[in-house]
Amino acid sequence: MKHRELGDSGVEVSEVGFGAWVVGTDWWGDRTEEQAVELVHHALDCGVTYIDTGDVYGHGDSERLVGQAIEGRRDEVTLATKIGYDFYNNPQAGHGELPKKVTPEWIRTAVDRSLDRLGTDHVDFLQLHNANVDEVTPDVMETLETLQEEGKVEALGWALGPSIGWLAEGDRAVELDFDAVQTVFNVFEQTPGRHFIETIRASDADTSVVARVPHSSGLLNEQVTPDTELGKGDHRAHRPSEWYETGWEKLESLRFLEREGERTMAQASIQWLLAHDEVAAVTPTFRTKEDVTAWSRAPETPPLSDEEFDRVEQLYRNNFGVDRFDGMDSLRSSVGGADLEGVDKQAAGD
C-alpha cells in the first residue's frame, strides 16, 4: 500500500481508505458487531490504515466499533472522524439528514465524545460533516485551531454533502487552507471533484481531495447489475432507476480499462482517481472481506496510461455515448446560484 500526505499537514493516509459508514449502520447490509470489527481488522491486515468514520454513523456505534477494532493497533492507523450533527437529541428517520450543529461549544463537546468512543486521545484527521459555508465562522476556525494546539486533532478537513455539489463549501475550504476536502468523485461523477482540483491548482493551495463513492454506488464495481434488487434499506436505492439504466450503458464504453488478470474495472476506477495528484485517498464502500482484499490492491495494479486517461476524458465529454437523462438532480448548494457557476454543465448532467 502506498501513502499520500493530507495537504502539508504531515498526516499520511493510505491511498485506499476504509469508509467506516458501513460499520455501525445497516445501510450497506446487515452484519454483527463481531463481523464489523473483523472487517476493520482485515482492512488493517491488507494495508488499509486510513480509517474514516463519523460520530453520526449509527449514532456513535461506528466510532465505538472502530475503537474496539483498533485497540492495540492505534499506532498503525490514521484515524479520521467527522462532527457536526446533533444526533444525541434527534432520532434517525430512515436515511434522512439530521439537524446540524456547528458552534464552538458543540465542536468541543462532539470531539470529546468521539475521542471517548474511539478510545484515543487524538484523531489524526477531523472533518466538519456537511457544514454549510455560513456555518464555518471565525469562531469555529479558532476552535478547530485550538484543538490542534491542544493535540486532540492534527489535520483538518471539510466533508461535503450529503448530496453532490456544495461548490461554495469546497472553495471556501481551499481558501481557508483546510488540509483536505472530501467529496463524491468517480469516473461518472467528475463534478465537483474536477472543479476543486482546478481550484487547488489555480490557487497553489496545500489542500488534498478525499474521494468517496469511487464506484458510483455499485456501477463501476459491478455490484449493481440489471439483475440486482435493491431493498429499501440499501443506501444505493436512493439513486433513480435512470441512473443505473444509463450507467450500465456507459460502463460498456470503459471496458478497455480492464486488463485480464491484472486490473479489474473496480480497481481501474480507483487508479483513475489516484492519477490525480491532489487525491490523497479513495474510500470505497467495503461490504465484504473479498471487497477489501481486491480493492486494497488497486494501487499495485498498472496505473492508467496517458492514452487511457485521455480516452476516459473524451468519453466523459461525450457523456460516454449516452444521450438520455440519467435522472440525477443538479448539483446542490447552500448559496443561491453557486451550484453551476463556472462549472462544466455537461458534468452537472444538463
Express each pLDDT in 21-40 by its tens digit. 888 766 555 678 999 999 99
C-alpha cell at 90: 434527534
pLDDT in tens, 165-223: 999 999 999 999 999 999 999 999 999 999 999 999 999 999 999 999 999 999 999 99
328 lies in some domain = no
Provide mean pLDDT across the span 218-245: 85
Which H or E run contains 212? strand 208-212
Answer whether 153's CB lies under 8 Å from 138's CB.
no
Banded model confidence at residue 341, pLDDT cuts 50, 70, 90: very low
Residue 96 confidence (pLDDT): 66
Residue 233 pLDDT more than 60? yes
Report the distance separating Cα 47 and Cα 80, nearest Å. Answer: 16
Range of the domain at 142: 3-321
339 lies in some domain = no
pLDDT in tens, 71-81: 999 999 999 99
140 lies in some domain = yes
Q: What is the CATH number of the domain that holds 131?
A: 3.20.20.100
276 lies in some domain = yes
pTM exceeds cut of 0.95: no
pLDDT in tens, 311-333: 999 999 999 999 998 888 878 88
**Would you mind telling me the total number of residues written for the chain in this entry?**
350
Please tell me the least confidently modeled range out of 15-19, 94-98, 255-259.
94-98
| Buried/exposed code over 156-168 (b: 16+ C-beta within 10 A; e: otherwise) | bbbbbbeebbbbb
Residue 348 confidence (pLDDT): 34
Residue 17 confidence (pLDDT): 98
pLDDT in tens, 135-158: 999 999 999 999 999 999 999 999
Q: How many CB atoms lie within 10 A of CB 328?
A: 17
C-alpha cell at 106: 458543540
332 lies in some domain = no
Q: Which amino acid is it at 280?
A: A
343 lies in some domain = no
Mean pLDDT computed over every residue of the chain: 91
Banded model confidence at residue 90, pLDDT cuts 50, 70, 90: confident
88 lies in some domain = yes
Residue 268 confidence (pLDDT): 98
Banded model confidence at residue 346, pLDDT cuts 50, 70, 90: very low
pLDDT in tens, 264-314: 999 999 999 999 999 999 999 999 999 999 999 999 999 999 999 999 999
86 lies in some domain = yes
Provide mean pLDDT across the span 87-97: 69
Please tell me the least confidently modeled range out of 91-95, 182-186, 215-219, 257-261.
91-95
Report the distance separating Cα 305 and Cα 154, nearest Å. Answer: 35
Residue 119 confidence (pLDDT): 98
Residue 345 confidence (pLDDT): 38
Number of domains comprising the chain:
1
Residue 242 confidence (pLDDT): 93
Burial class (CB in 10 A: 0-12, 13-18, 19+), 57: buried
